Amino acid sequence: MGLSSDREAIKSAFLDRHGWGDAARVPLSGDASTRAYERLHPATGPSLIFMDQPPNAETAPCHPEATPDDRAKAGYNALARLAAGRVDAFVAVAEWLKAQGLSAPAILAHDAAQGLAVLEDLGDDLFAVLIEGGLDEAPLYDAAIEGLVRLHEAPAPEALTAPGIEWPLLDYDEVALKTAGDILPEWLPRLKPELNFSDAAVAQWDAIWAPIRAQGAAGASVFCHRDYHAENLIWLPDRQGAARVGLLDFQDAVRAHPAWDMSMLLHDARRDVSPQREAAALDYYFKLRPELDQARFLADYHALGALNIVRILGIFARLVTRDGKPRYAAFMPRLWRYLDTCLADPALADLKVWFDANVPASSRT
């Protein structure tokens, strides 16, 4: 019996054990991760989502006590403080989100050791799909901001718990932020062979980002979804307030600066967020959080937004060149436009000079 048939036997046994062995199973389109999803259609009752994250498909997540050297030896997930797709992380985060009155899917059954879970089906009404279909984006983005405010006002716990599970909520620290930023100089030249970053350019890159990483780590104070954008948010108009936003793909949650998820929402790699929508969303956020120093927040939003954007550019370059997923190249021009907007902040003049010197406009495509 091969690995795929072994895995299928494990999945079938799990479904049998929990009473869904006879449910019709329909594969759902995947993403850039090692997870797979199916929609279950039981003989009676609503449809469900079956999540499959094979154990050991990724390098280990970060141990809370790991040193930077430990993390480097463990691999990328430990350096970046990613959850390695772990089902126990997903379950623990989901339970915490629901306790805040937010709409994470209910966990109906799970086996963390086997990497399997059955979830409430929140439907297919992704923000991105509805907006593309003509729905007014304003109430959706307002609700998304209400969700962020709920996350940012809730005390961020040291650990997230569910029955039999305790998952640490780690800081998005300087090591993780450096890992994020360094993906671009490593992988962009592999996508754009005309680029060749000298040792001096790489050293300058690191020096420019050092104070930004420090401010991001120092401001790590709120629960951060980490992948909060229109293809991971589901519209649930029958619910109220922030609960109208169905949440997906949150297992990599960390404690981070509040500007990080704002950047994920408004520097959306997969759809254009207009300057007008960006401004309206930020204004609404400040209206709901009047205690904030708006100038300080916007400065951090531009700086950490730039870091987030270069992280995604680097990841997309890696997906295209290493993983053979060329579709991600189509998203990159949008990210370069967002980056230009961030770099218009005079406080980021040194970073703008670096890009102008090392990544000409012809390579920002």
Q: Each residue of 2-24: pLDDT tens digit? A: 567 899 999 999 999 999 999 99
Q: Each residue of 245-262: pLDDT tens digit? A: 999 999 999 999 999 999
Other CB atoms within 10 Å distance of the CB of residue 299? 16
Q: Each residue of 57-100: pLDDT tens digit? A: 899 999 999 999 999 999 999 999 999 989 999 999 999 999 99
353 has a pLDDT exceeding 50? yes
| Distances 244 to 106, 133, 152, 236 between C-alpha atoms, Å | 15, 19, 17, 4
pTM: 0.95
Listed in sequence order, the DSSP H helices in 289-322 are 294-321
Q: Which residue has the tokens 């709920």?
A: 150
Listed in sequence order, the DSSP H helices in 219-331 are 258-266, 275-288, 294-321
| Distances 37 to 40, 54, 82, 278, 321 between C-alpha atoms, Å | 10, 12, 20, 32, 25
- Written as six digits, the tokens of 365 are 């495509």
Buried b (16+ CB within 10 A) or exposed e, 82-94: bbbbbbbbbbbbb
* Closest-CA residue to 130 (of 271, 249, 238): 271
Question: CA-CA distance, 180 to 184, in Å (whole number)?
Answer: 8
Contact assessment for residue 255 and residue 171, using Cβ atoms and an 8 Å cutoff: yes
